[in-house]
Amino acid sequence: MNSLHGLGGANLDLIVLLPVWVLTATACLLMLVNMTPRRAGSNLSALIALLGLALAGTATWLHRGITRPLFNQMFVLDGFTTYFTLLFVGIAFVAVLLSWDYLKRTALEHGEFYALIAFSTLGMIFMAAANDLMMIFVGLELMSIPLYILAAFRKNRFESNEAGLKYFLLGAFATGFLLYGMALIYGTTGTTNLSKIGSYLLGSPITSTPLFIIGSLLLLVGFAFKVSLVPFHMWTPDAYEGAPTTATAFMSAGAKAAGFAGLLRVGMGALPTVMPDWTHLLTVLAILTMTIGNVTAILQSNLKRMLAYSSIAHAGYVLLGVIAGGPDGYSAVLFYLAVYSVMNLGAFGIVSLMGRGTDERVRVQDMAGVGFRRPWMGIAMAVFMLGLAGIPPTAGFLGKFYLFRAALAEGHLTLVIIAVLNSVIAVYYYLRPVVVMYMTQPEGESLEISPAIPATIAIVSLIVLTFALGVAPTALAEAALQSVLSVFH
């Protein structure tokens, strides 16, 4: 790849941006294809989406190791961008596989679904690659607006409409906060470029002026909404519950990872001098997020809502790495986001298989007796639940281990103790589906399952990854570390 460095110029810019082109083309193509008349049950849209994502992923992989700023330093290609691009493309790929049969069975088969996923993925990539506040804003909007539509995609269902509207309104608020914060930071530093803000703030007294402090806090609030930190989490359970299950899988993994990617970009690029001042604030947020997320999850009888609250709690764990900072802390964040995405996609993937036809089953109780009647499904769900609970030999354990290690290295003992106690609370509700699946019998008729080949492929791969990363994490952990180091240098 080094030979490419010598070429320089705009041509190379276009080549290394191949993943972005491919995804844009895929999304547009999907929109067009959807306008042509096709027979019902056509697989064309899903296939195009898969192909596009696979191409984008391959292109990203081939250009890994290249570090260069693009477009007047608005967009930066480095290890961090590559890591997240691969993660987002992977998440979208799995989401498409899960949706393939799910959309048909729930009568939601419209080509826009895949186009929206492709656009949203593009937005996530922009967020991770942004080196400019404006770029982050564009990425955030490009990611969020398709998600609002996806949340409301079950247009005949009341709760889906509610989900879309709630997500949209609260999301719009959050974007407002974010934009206001950006404006204030621009007003105080005179630039929207992250690196320039960073160097401007170095040793500048501006960081203690009210305007700047308010600006940076508003920025934080905007991100807190997107990754659903308590008390900015109110939209999460409703949006996750109302959205089509595979869209929930996509947003719970992708949007959260993208939110943290944006936060880290700002944190590492623009505000490294300010991050230490945020420690106390983030600590409080982390404690609230973990505890309220976990305790509320215990009370849920709806699997999607339970997983929604659990995903809130996971954002709290991830904050531990953000608080710890430094290469170890940030790489723990990257590692955990990947691991969490794998397990959460799997859990929602299983939920998407429950029920038959448009009759979807999402209560914990619905899983009664599934464990032995559908052994593979039982094992899969158990693996993802124990993984999210952080029990070895799943990747969830090592993910938490890296986070706790990073936080303790910076001396955050109390925070780590609260986090480990929280993971005991979490075990309680993650065990419930396992208890219901294996230790109880259904009261009425037993749960119908709609197995599908693409979803099965996805879930089996996720199980393999959950174990593989749980016993051999080195490759991913090393990649995460190198990605973070590529930003620091």
Partner 1 sequence: MTLLGIPILTLLIVLPIVGGLVVALLPKSAESQAKHVAFAIALLEFAASIPLWFGYQPGGPAFQFVENLPWIPGIGASWHLGIDGLSIFLVLLTTALSALAILGSFSAIHERTRAYYMLLLMLEGAMIGTFLALDMVVFYFFWEAMLVPMYLLIGVWGGQERIRAAVKFFLYTMAGSVLMLVAILWIYFLHFQQTGTYTTDLLQLYQTNVPLGAQTWLFLAFAVAFAIKVPMWPFHTWLPLAHVEAPTAGSVILAAVLLKMGTYGFMRFAMPLFPNAAYAMAPVINLLAVIGIIYGALVAMVQPDLKKLVAYSSVSHLGFCMLGMFAFNSPGWAGSLMQMINHGISTGALFLLVGVIYERRHTRLIAEFGGLWKVIPVYSAIFMVVMLSSIGLPGTNGFIGEFLVLLGAFQMPDNRIWAILAATGVILSACYMLWMYQRVIFGTITNAANEALKDLTPREVAVFIPLLALIFWIGLFPNPILTRMQPSIDYQLEFIRTRALDQREHAARQAIGALLPAPGVQATTGTGAPR
**Which residues are paired to 363 by β-bridges?**
302
CA-closest candidate to residue 351, choices 466, 480, 464, 447: 447
* CB 476 within 8 Å of CB 398: no
Rounded Cα gap, residues 124 and 40, in angstroms: 31
Rounded Cα gap, residues 94 and 84, in angstroms: 15
CB of 320 to partner 1, least distance (A): 12
CB of 201 to partner 1, least distance (A): 25
Q: Which CA distances in Å does 434 have to 45, 344, 380, 395?
A: 35, 16, 10, 18
Q: Which is nearer to partner 1, 14 or 471 (CB)?
A: 471
Instruction: Determine the 3-state secondary structure of 111 from DSSP.
Output: coil
Q: Which is nearer to partner 1, 293 or 371 (CB)?
A: 371
- Is there binding between residue 420 and partner 1 (CB under 8 A)? yes
* CB 54 within 8 Å of CB 93: yes
- Is there binding between residue 32 and partner 1 (CB under 8 A)? no
CB of 80 to partner 1, least distance (A): 18
Q: Given the rule CB under 8 A, which of 112-120, 244-252, 362-370, 404-412 is the region that contacts partner 1?
A: 404-412
Kindly identify the residues of this chain, within the stretch 435-464, that bind partner 1 according to CB under 8 A.
435, 438-440
Kindly identify the residues of this chain, within the stretch 84-143, that bind partner 1 according to CB under 8 A.
none
- Is there binding between residue 372 and partner 1 (CB under 8 A)? yes
Residues with Cβ within 8 Å of 110's Cβ and at least 6 positions away in sequence, in order, are 34, 103
CB of 394 to partner 1, least distance (A): 9
Among 14, 107, 281, 428, binds partner 1 (CB under 8 A): 428
- Is there binding between residue 299 and partner 1 (CB under 8 A)? no
- Is there binding between residue 413 and partner 1 (CB under 8 A)? yes
Give the helix/strand (H/E) hosting 76: strand 75-77
Among 211, 421, 460, 464, binds partner 1 (CB under 8 A): 421
* CB 424 within 8 Å of CB 318: no
Rounded Cα gap, residues 21 and 64, in angstroms: 16
Q: Given the rule CB under 8 A, which of 146-154, 167-175, 216-224, 422-430 is the region that contacts partner 1?
A: 422-430
Per-residue x/- track, 324-363, partner 1 (CB under 8 A): ----------------------------------------
CB of 421 to partner 1, least distance (A): 7
Q: Which tokens sit at 22? A: 């491919």
CB of 343 to partner 1, least distance (A): 15
User: How many angstroms from the chain centroid is the CA of residue 92?
Assistant: 10
- Is there binding between residue 31 and partner 1 (CB under 8 A)? no
Residue 473, preceding peptide bond in cis (omega within 30° of 0): no
- Is there binding between residue 157 and partner 1 (CB under 8 A)? no
Rounded Cα gap, residues 226 and 262, in angstroms: 10
Rounded Cα gap, residues 146 and 115, in angstroms: 9
Per-residue x/- track, 380-399, partner 1 (CB under 8 A): ------x----xxx---xx-
Among 83, 235, 384, 404, binds partner 1 (CB under 8 A): 404
Q: Which is nearer to partner 1, 129 or 403 (CB)?
A: 403
Q: Which is nearer to partner 1, 172 or 408 (CB)?
A: 408
Q: How many CA atoms lie within 13 A of 457 on its CB side?
A: 11
- 354 CB-contact burial (10 Å; exposed 0-12 / middle 13-18 / buried 19+): buried
Unique residue bearing structure tokens 């949340």:
151
Size of the site for partner 1 (CB under 8 A): 36
**Which residues here bind partner 1, judged by CB under 8 A?**
372, 375, 386, 391-393, 397-398, 401-402, 404-405, 408-411, 413, 416-417, 420-421, 423-424, 427-428, 431, 434-435, 438-440, 473-474, 477-478, 481
